């Protein structure tokens, strides 16, 4: 029994309660959040260090013994996800101190954000399938709260659509958990991995397909992504950064954990199907991004497209593929959350998210342009930025397995990604503002936003310049996957 | 017994999906609730429905023979509680949506994603080509 393994749940839960108790005093609430997030970050760091020494941190509640009690199991994969979660949480709370979101802060915004971290932390730490479902529900209800909190009619509309599509995903997940329990009699990951070897391949294939369908809805993969671009753009900016960084990452992590680790012996047909779904996600996501002019929608569609790369790496079903998926996940969600936050800064300075109605920002704020270009090119994968290394490891493995069609689609999508990023650059920064009388707002309080975005960009820069530690870490993590 | 449950699950799922596909928001929420109940029943059946004997071990016995597995029942109870909370939330949400949008037709709910009026997406053509927002959204000042 180790308290450290439970810290991803305990710390955000304590912070959530404390922040909800002091909701009448915004300053106290902010400080409680900072303290909670710094403790969370310290715990995540400790877990990463511990896990990287080769011993996964584990804890079985109620001392029930291995396959019966609910187990928390933090290995390298989970620990790195928790570390990103903590960094995202801290960045969004720092960003919250700026006035990039001009509306007054709702007193329940911070508690709900901690609730989101609680659910995400629990999902990353748990090693029990039903427990995973429960954490998905916690995430869902907090996400719904964050979406609905503004109470504007478009937000309520988006919340409803988000609710309907996600609840179907959750119900499918519950059904899959039930069927898997009925077939194997187990819920613990370790026990499931052993029990799966006893099943006939087509039975296992059916079970895993149902599970995969549920998780693909959650991660926003090709035909099931409609909730993502429909809802994201109605969120307040700091919550949007957190959403972009955490929610799809959760789905992708669950796919990697269950398909790459627990049910790694699933029939090849499942992985083949996942590969084609991934290719379609990449292509159709980026086409959506090429069509839109609202920055937030462009970025939301990019999330769909980039999730495709990660799913492609998982579909390669090899150790190198799993390692590539982890590298891509770490790279992508830092960059994507940062882009959403920078978009919010552009909105604050120009007053609009629609690229056709803004412009001239490079002249007014050249450093914002540099920051945006750095992060955007990193998303595209221009060498030597972090996106290049992430795409390199994925495509290297795809080519090594002779998957030429998937590789070709991935490279084509990179070009289209470049197109839509350059579109934002040309429209928001380069062209003169369409309104001749436009000027920057006089009173802005953006320095916390700068701290958050530059901090995340520094992380991207570190990965760009020294990718080797991350890649080695991911390879070590992948070594442990599928070897239960 | 298990076939009866299987049949019930099948019919309930069909009813739930039919209702959830409705354009009427309220029916959609009810459909999702029905679907949730069907999945709960499926989960219960996954734990095997055996003879209902009291879960007290007779003297000298070391295993429970012919008794239902209590674990799926505990799990379903958790799922029911979560589902109940979500349904309460969603009913409130549906009510708020219907009140503020002044419609309960899913096809008229275009506040978050207004229909474009341009034939293709061109550069900005001026306010005349702004997407059309439903009346309720426009009156509440939903910005572009």
> How far is the alpha carbon of B7 from chain A, nearest alpha carbon, in Å?
16
- Residue B40 confidence class, pLDDT cut points 50, 70, 90: very high
* Separation in Å, CA of A180 to nearest CA in chain B: 8
Tokens of A262: 């627990």
Q: Which of A453-457, B59-63, B139-143 bottoms out in mean pLDDT, i.e. has the lowest?
A: B139-143
pLDDT at A483: 74
In DSSP terms, A58 is beta-bridged to: A73
Show the tokens assigned to A122: 């629990």
ipTM: 0.87
Facing residue for B100 by CB, picked from A153, A175, A179: A153
Structural contact between residues A343 and A420, judged by C-beta atoms closer than 8 angstroms: no
Q: Kindly report the average pLDDT of chain A as a whole number.
A: 91
Q: Which residues of B touch A (CB under 8 A)?
A: 20, 25, 28, 32, 35-36, 39-40, 42-43, 45-48, 72, 75, 78-79, 82, 85-86, 89-90, 93-94, 96-97, 100-101, 109-113, 121, 123-124, 136-137, 140, 142, 144
For an interface test with A, the pick among B107, B113, B136, B138 (most A C-beta atoms closer than 10 Å) comes out as B113
- Kindly state the tokens that stand for B48: 């095997």
Q: Determine whether the interchain pair B109/A168 forms a contact, defined as Cβ–Cβ distance below 8 Å.
A: no
Q: Give the SS3 label for residue A428.
A: helix
Nearest CB to B93 within list A159, A171, A234: A159
Grade residue B50 by pLDDT with cuts at 50, 70 and 90. low
B143 — pLDDT class (breaks 50, 70, 90): low
Work out the widest C-alpha separation in chain B, in whole angstroms.
86
Name every chain B residue with its beta carbon within 8 A of the beta carbon of A352: 144
Pairwise CB contact (< 8 Å): B25 & A293:
no
Q: What is d(CA A4, CA A58) in angstroms, rounded to the nearest whole number?
A: 8
Find chain A residues with C-beta within 8 A of B142's C-beta.
Answer: 152-154
B112 neighbourhood in chain A, CB within 8 Å = 154-155, 157-158, 161, 230-231, 233-234
Reply yes or no on whether the pLDDT at B28 is more than 60: yes
Condensed to tens digits (0 to 9), the pLDDT of residues A5-32 reads 899 999 999 999 999 999 899 899 999 9
Answer whether A127's CB lies under 8 Å from A75's CB: no
Is the pLDDT confidence value at A273 over 90? yes
Indicate the pLDDT class of residue B62, thresholds 50, 70 and 90: low
Q: What is the mean pLDDT of residues B60-77?
A: 74
pLDDT band at A55 (very low <50, low <70, confident <90, very high): confident
Q: Given this model, what pLDDT does residue A279 score? A: 95
CA distance A352 to chain B (A): 8
From B113, B114, B88, B91, select the one nearest B104 (Cα to Cα): B91
Q: Which residue has the higher pLDDT, A149 or B136?
A: A149
A109, A150, A444 from A95: Cα distances, Å: 13, 18, 13
The CA distance from B47 to the nearest CA of chain A, in Å, is 6
Q: Other CB atoms closer than 10 Å to residue A1's CB: what's the count?
A: 11
Tens digits of per-residue pLDDT, A213-261? 999 999 988 888 888 888 888 888 888 888 887 888 999 999 999 998 8
Q: Which one of A147, A155, A156, A187 makes the best mutation probe of the B interface by having the most chain B beta carbons within 10 Å? A: A156
Q: Domain ranges in chain B?
A: 18-52+67-121
pLDDT in tens, A360-402: 888 888 999 999 999 999 999 988 899 999 999 999 999 999 9
Residue A91: per-residue pLDDT: 93
Which run of H or E residues covers position A60? strand A57-60
Select the more confidently predicted residue: B140 or A39: A39
What are the pLDDT digits (tens) for A71-130? 899 999 999 999 999 999 999 999 988 888 777 888 899 999 999 999 999 999 999 999
Cβ of B142 within 8 Å of Cβ of A168? The answer is no
Nearest CB neighbour to A163, from listed B47, B93, B123: B93
Q: Of A50, A22, A48, A49, whose CA–CA distance to A36 is shortest?
A: A22
Please tell me which residue of chain B has the smallest CA distance to A172. B39
**Cross-strand partners of A57:** A74
- The pLDDT value recorded for residue B144 is 43
Residues of A in contact with B113 (CB under 8 A): 230
B43 and B80 Cβ atoms separated by less than 8 Å: no
CA distance B36 to B42: 10
Residue B99 has pLDDT above 70, yes or no: yes
Q: What SS3 state is found at A152?
A: coil
Half-sphere exposure of A363 toward its Cβ, with a 13 Å CA cutoff?
Answer: 12
Cβ neighbours of B42 in A, within 8 Å:
175, 178-179
pLDDT at residue number B25:
92
Give B90→chain A minimum CA distance, Å: 8
Closest-CA distance of chain A to residue B34, Å: 11
Once rounded to an integer, what is the mean pLDDT over residues A188-193?
91
- Counting other chains too, the contacts that A342-346 makes at CB distance below 8 Å and 24 or more residues apart are A342/A368, A342/A371, A342/A372, A342/A375, A342/A453, A343/A295, A343/A296, A343/A299, A344/A95, A344/A100, A344/A101, A344/A237, A344/A238, A344/A240, A344/A241, A344/A449, A345/A100, A345/A446, A345/A449, A345/A450, A345/A453, A346/A295, A346/A372, A346/A428
Whether chain B has a CB inside 8 Å of the CB on A234: the answer is yes
B101 token code pair: 């949008």
What pLDDT, in 10s, does the model give residues A282-299? 999 999 998 888 889 999
Specify the pLDDT at position B66: 62
């Amino acid at each position: 029994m180790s308290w450290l393994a439970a810290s991803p749940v305990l710390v955000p839960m304590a912070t959530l309660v404390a922040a909800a108790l002091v909701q009448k005093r915004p300053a106290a609430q902010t400080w409680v959040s900072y303290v909670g997030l710094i403790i969370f970050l310290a715990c995540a760091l400790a877990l990463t260090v511990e896990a990287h020494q080769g011993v996964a941190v584990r804890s079985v509640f109620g001392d029930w013994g291995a396959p019966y009690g609910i187990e928390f199991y933090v290995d390298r994969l989970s620990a790195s996800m928790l570390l990103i979660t903590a960094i995202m949480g801290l960045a969004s709370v720092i960003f919250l101190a700026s006035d990039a979101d001009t509306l007054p802060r709702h007193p329940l915004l911070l508690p709900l954000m901690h609730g989101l971290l609680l659910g995400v932390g629990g999902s990353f730490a748990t090693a029990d399938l039903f427990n995973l479902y429960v954490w998905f529900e916690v995430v869902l209800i907090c996400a719904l709260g964050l979406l609905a909190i503004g109470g504007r009619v478009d937000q309520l509309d988006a919340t409803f659509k988000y609710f309907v599509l996600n609840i179907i995903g959750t119900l499918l997940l519950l059904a899959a958990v039930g069927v898997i329990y009925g077939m194997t009699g187990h819920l613990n990951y370790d026990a499931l991995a052993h029990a799966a070897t006893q099943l006939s391949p087509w039975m296992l294939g059916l079970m895993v397909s149902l599970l995969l369908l549920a998780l693909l809805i959650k991660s926003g993969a090709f035909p099931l992504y409609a909730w993502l671009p429909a809802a994201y753009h109605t969120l307040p900016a700091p919550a949007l950064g957190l959403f972009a960084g955490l929610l799809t990452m959760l789905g992708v992590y669950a796919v990697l954990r269950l398909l790459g680790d627990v049910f790694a012996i699933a029939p090849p047909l499942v992985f083949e199907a996942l590969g084609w779904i991934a290719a379609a996600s990449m292509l159709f996501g980026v086409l959506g991004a090429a069509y839109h002019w609202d920055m937030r929608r462009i970025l939301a569609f990019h999330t769909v497209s980039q999730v495709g790369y990660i799913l492609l790496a998982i579909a390669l079903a090899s150790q190198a593929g799993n390692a590539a998926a982890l590298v891509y996940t770490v790279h992508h969600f830092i960059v994507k959350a940062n882009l959403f936050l920078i978009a919010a800064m552009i909105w604050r300075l120009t007053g609009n998210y629609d690229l056709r109605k803004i412009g001239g920002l490079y002249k007014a704020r050249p450093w914002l342009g540099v920051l945006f270009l750095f992060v955007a090119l990193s998303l595209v994968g221009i060498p030597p930025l972090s996106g290049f290394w992430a795409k390199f490891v994925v495509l290297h493995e795809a080519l090594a397995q002779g998957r030429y069609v998937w590789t070709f689609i991935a490279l084509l999508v990179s070009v289209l990604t470049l197109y839509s990023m350059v579109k934002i650059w040309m429209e928001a920064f380069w062209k003169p503002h369409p309104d001749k009388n436009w000027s920057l707002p006089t009173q802005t309080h953006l320095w916390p936003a700068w701290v958050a975005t530059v901090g995340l960009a520094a992380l991207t820069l570190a990965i760009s310049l020294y990718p080797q530690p991350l890649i080695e870490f991911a390879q070590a993590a992948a070594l442990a996957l599928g070897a239960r | 017994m298990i076939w009866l449950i299987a049949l019930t699950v099948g019919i309930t799922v069909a009813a739930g999906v039919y209702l959830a596909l409705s354009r009427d928001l309220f029916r959609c929420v009810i459909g999702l609730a029905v679907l949730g109940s069907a999945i709960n029943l499926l989960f219960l059946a996954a734990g095997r429905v055996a003879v209902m004997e009291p879960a007290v071990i007779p003297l000298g016995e070391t295993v429970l023979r012919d008794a239902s597995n209590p674990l799926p029942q505990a799990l379903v109870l958790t799922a029911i509680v979560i589902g109940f909370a979500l349904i309460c939330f969603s009913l409130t949400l549906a009510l708020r949506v219907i009140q503020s949008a002044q419609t309960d037709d899913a096809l008229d709910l275009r506040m978050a994603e207004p229909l474009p009026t341009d034939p293709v997406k061109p550069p900005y053509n001026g306010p005349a080509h702004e997407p059309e927002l439903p009346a309720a959204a426009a009156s509440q000042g939903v910005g572009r």
